[in-house]
């Protein structure tokens, strides 16, 4: 097999392309936020409430956050565990599908954006856009194919784009009659109690957890973060009440993209990642069940490809990366707080976007970048029909990928953000759900402005009606 430097994913050297990195980072962040927010899967489905004749509150603290029974129901393969699971109880009119969409008005603002100006490099200005808009559309169907065989298929579409499969899996539940053995196969969300698919914020700036998708600027890692659904197989076990849970997932290194797509190149993947997660719940008298969990994602990403007549055919030079962390979910009656910590690190070749077979291209002082991040998110359920939320989140680079970046822009990529909002559910029945959603989010990204290397601040205001049926 032959390969050449032409086939490298990227050969930019950090010293000469800081501005390109910054713009790449800004665009990546924007796209990530767009993709994430436009494909919020509707994991709260009236279809289940319809099927069982139960109120939404049987499974949700406030749609779409799951309560303890909702978690049990999900872990048990969408089965309650009594004779109500039997088809004879199902209403013939029951259609196991729901859709979710959010018509909204939103305002986006960002400081120090490079604006073209004739005869100069351009100027940095604050850009503000606003108007009426639509979120992506989710069509979700899930349930049981047979006793102890569950499934989920979630086609999702952003306006003007084609449908993609946000998830599609089949799960063999309660193997050997034990809740500790469940096998899921397909594309699915990585197991975690802090589910980004179920949280309460939707705006462009606040509609995702930065920690779940963070990549240092200039990094060529094809992994999109623990918040992205992945393709693979998952072994999950849980206690009867789902207080104690574990999961082990073997995943293709494709960032959830079908077609063996490694780092954006179809038909090239040949490596696997590993995701581990465990959590435990415990009762605190007078407060309720408190939960803690730990997780680790250990993966590989290619740094170059073998090609055939210019077409990438096999990923090569796989280099490692990891994301490890811990979280807690603390309840004080109607008030709950999520605390999250993540440490991430990428291999030096990934961090500097250099092919593993060309180590001489590594810049001076090149090291594997690493960072720490976390968030504190609180929810207050004034009633099941009115929930307030607030979050403070940060991601701080503890080591940049090389000496040039570390020296010139030590804060490059840092994120400091906060989001506040509330959701009012005037309608929350087993047939349908409607929430009025109002949110304000702000995020400052370190040294990302292209001309002055200054920090940029993005803001989102969103008012909308989030509904599913």
Partner 1 sequence: MKQVFSSTQASMRRLHERIVRTKQLWVAPALFLLLCGMGHARTREKAAPSFTIEVDQPYSRVVAAVEDVARSSVIKGTFEYTGDDQLKGAQFEPSSRLFPVWTGAGKVFLKVRNRTLAPKHFIQSNDVGAVAVRYVVQENGANSTRLVIDAVFVENAGHHGHPSDGYVETCEFAEIGKRLKEFDQQRTLRASGHEFAPSRESSSQLDKPVEPVIDSSATADIRRAIADQESQLAADTANLRQLEAQARKIRASEFVRINAERAELKASPYSHARVVAALKQGQEATVLVKSAYWFRVRSEDGQEGWVSHSALEAQP
Candidates 388, 273, 274; CA nearest to 337 is 388
From candidates 132, 382, 407, 452, binder to partner 1 by CB under 8 A: 382
Contacts of 219 (CB under 8 A, 6+ apart): 346, 350, 351, 353, 369, 401
Kindly tell me which of 274 and 386 has the beta carbon lying closer to partner 1. 386
| Nearest approach, Cβ of residue 107 and partner 1 (Å) | 6
Residue 108 structure tokens: 């986006």
Contacts of 357 (CB under 8 A, 6+ apart): 3, 303, 304, 316, 317
* Site membership for partner 1, residue 285 (CB under 8 A): yes
**Near partner 1 in 419-458, by CB under 8 A:** 422, 424, 426, 430, 436, 438
Contacts of 416 (CB under 8 A, 6+ apart): 393, 394, 443, 444
Phi first, then psi: what are they for 136, rounded to 5°? -70, 165
How far is 356 from 271, CA to CA, in rounded Å? 16
* Site membership for partner 1, residue 384 (CB under 8 A): yes
From candidates 177, 286, 310, 360, binder to partner 1 by CB under 8 A: 286
* Site membership for partner 1, residue 322 (CB under 8 A): no
From candidates 27, 333, 398, 407, binder to partner 1 by CB under 8 A: 333
* Site membership for partner 1, residue 111 (CB under 8 A): no
Candidates 238, 213, 226; CA nearest to 326 is 226
| Nearest approach, Cβ of residue 166 and partner 1 (Å) | 27
* Site membership for partner 1, residue 386 (CB under 8 A): yes
Kindly tell me which of 169 and 327 has the beta carbon lying closer to partner 1. 327
Looking from the CA of 326 toward its CB, the CA atoms found within 13 Å total 4
Binding segment (CB under 8 A) for partner 1, from list 15-23, 189-197, 277-285, 406-414: 277-285
Residue 89 structure tokens: 């109880």
* Site membership for partner 1, residue 331 (CB under 8 A): yes
| Contact assessment for residue 221 and residue 352, using Cβ atoms and an 8 Å cutoff | no
Q: Left (φ > 0), alpha (ψ -120 to 50) or beta: where does 260 sit?
A: left
Candidates 132, 123, 126; CA nearest to 111 is 126
| Nearest approach, Cβ of residue 289 and partner 1 (Å) | 4
Count the site residues for partner 1 by CB under 8 A: 41
| Contact assessment for residue 314 and residue 328, using Cβ atoms and an 8 Å cutoff | no
Cα distances from 330 to residues 227, 239, 304, 336, 379, in angstroms, run 21, 20, 44, 5, 10
**What value does the CA radius of gyration of the chain take, rounded to a whole number of Å?**
23
Rounded to a whole number, what is the distance in angstroms from the first to the last CA of the chain?
A: 54
* Site membership for partner 1, residue 282 (CB under 8 A): no
From candidates 18, 61, 142, 350, binder to partner 1 by CB under 8 A: 61
Kindly tell me which of 80 and 292 has the beta carbon lying closer to partner 1. 80
DSSP at 57: G
Binding segment (CB under 8 A) for partner 1, from list 17-25, 48-56, 300-308, 396-404: 48-56
The 239-258 site mask, x for binding partner 1 (CB under 8 A), equals: --x-----------------
* Site membership for partner 1, residue 159 (CB under 8 A): no
Cα 414 from chain centroid (whole Å): 18
* Site membership for partner 1, residue 94 (CB under 8 A): no
Cα 276 from chain centroid (whole Å): 16
| Nearest approach, Cβ of residue 89 and partner 1 (Å) | 8
* Site membership for partner 1, residue 201 (CB under 8 A): no
The 129-158 site mask, x for binding partner 1 (CB under 8 A), equals: -x----------------------------
Kindly tell me which of 289 and 306 has the beta carbon lying closer to partner 1. 289
How far is 300 from 321, CA to CA, in rounded Å? 6
**Near partner 1 in 18-47, by CB under 8 A:** none
| Nearest approach, Cβ of residue 332 and partner 1 (Å) | 9
| Contact assessment for residue 57 and residue 65, using Cβ atoms and an 8 Å cutoff | no
* Site membership for partner 1, residue 68 (CB under 8 A): yes
| Contact assessment for residue 261 and residue 269, using Cβ atoms and an 8 Å cutoff | yes
Kindly tell me which of 188 and 440 has the beta carbon lying closer to partner 1. 440
* Site membership for partner 1, residue 337 (CB under 8 A): no
**Contact positions toward partner 1, by CB under 8 A?**
52-55, 57-58, 61, 67-70, 72, 80, 84, 105, 107, 130, 241, 283-289, 331, 333-334, 382-386, 422, 424, 426, 430, 436, 438, 461, 463
């Amino acid at each position: 097999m032959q390969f050449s430097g032409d086939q490298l994913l990227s050969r930019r050297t950090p010293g000469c392309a800081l501005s390109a990195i910054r713009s790449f980072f800004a665009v990546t962040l924007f796209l990530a936020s767009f993709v994430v927010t436009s494909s919020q899967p509707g994991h709260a489905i009236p279809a289940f409430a319809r099927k069982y004749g139960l109120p939404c509150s049987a499974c949700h603290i406030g749609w779409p956050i799951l309560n303890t029974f909702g978690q049990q129901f999900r872990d048990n393969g969408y089965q309650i565990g009594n004779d109500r699971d039997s088809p004879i109880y199902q209403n013939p009119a029951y259609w196991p599908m729901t859709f979710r969409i959010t018509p909204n008005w939103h305002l986006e603002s960002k400081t120090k954006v490079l604006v073209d100006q004739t005869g100069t490099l351009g100027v940095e200005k604050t850009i503000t856009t606003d108007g009426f808009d639509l979120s992506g559309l989710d069509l979700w169907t899930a349930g049981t194919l047979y006793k102890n065989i569950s499934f989920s298929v979630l086609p999702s579409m952003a306006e003007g784009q084609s449908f993609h499969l946000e998830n599609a899996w089949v799960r063999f539940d309660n193997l050997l009659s034990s809740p500790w053995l469940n096998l899921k196969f397909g594309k699915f969300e990585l197991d975690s109690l802090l589910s980004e698919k179920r949280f309460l914020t939707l705006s462009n700036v606040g509609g995702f957890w930065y920690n779940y998708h963070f990549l240092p600027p200039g990094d060529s890692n094809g992994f999109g973060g623990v918040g992205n659904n992945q393709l693979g197989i998952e072994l999950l076990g849980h206690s009867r009440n789902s207080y104690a849970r574990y999961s082990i997932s073997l995943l293709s290194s494709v960032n959830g993209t079908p077609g063996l797509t490694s780092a954006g190149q179809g038909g090239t993947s040949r490596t696997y990642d590993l995701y581990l997660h465990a959590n435990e719940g415990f009762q605190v008298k007078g407060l309720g069940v408190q939960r803690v969990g730990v997780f680790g994602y250990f993966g590989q990403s290619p740094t170059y490809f073998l090609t055939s007549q210019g077409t990438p055919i096999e990923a090569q030079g796989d280099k490692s990366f990891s994301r490890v962390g811990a979280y807690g979910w603390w309840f004080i009656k109607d008030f709950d707080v999520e605390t999250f910590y993540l440490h991430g690190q990428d291999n030096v070749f990934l961090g500097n976007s250099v092919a593993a077979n060309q180590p001489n291209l590594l810049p001076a002082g090149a090291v594997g970048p690493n960072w720490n991040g976390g968030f504190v998110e609180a929810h207050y359920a004034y009633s099941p029909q009115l929930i307030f939320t607030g979050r403070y989140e940060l991601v701080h680079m503890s080591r940049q990928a090389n000496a040039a970046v570390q020296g010139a822009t030590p804060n490059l990529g840092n994120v400091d953000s906060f989001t506040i909002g509330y959701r009012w559910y005037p309608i929350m029945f087993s047939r349908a759900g409607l929430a009025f959603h109002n949110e304000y989010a702000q995020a400052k990204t370190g040294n990302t402005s292209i001309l002055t290397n200054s920090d940029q601040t993005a803001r989102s205001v969103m008012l909308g009606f989030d509904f599913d049926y």
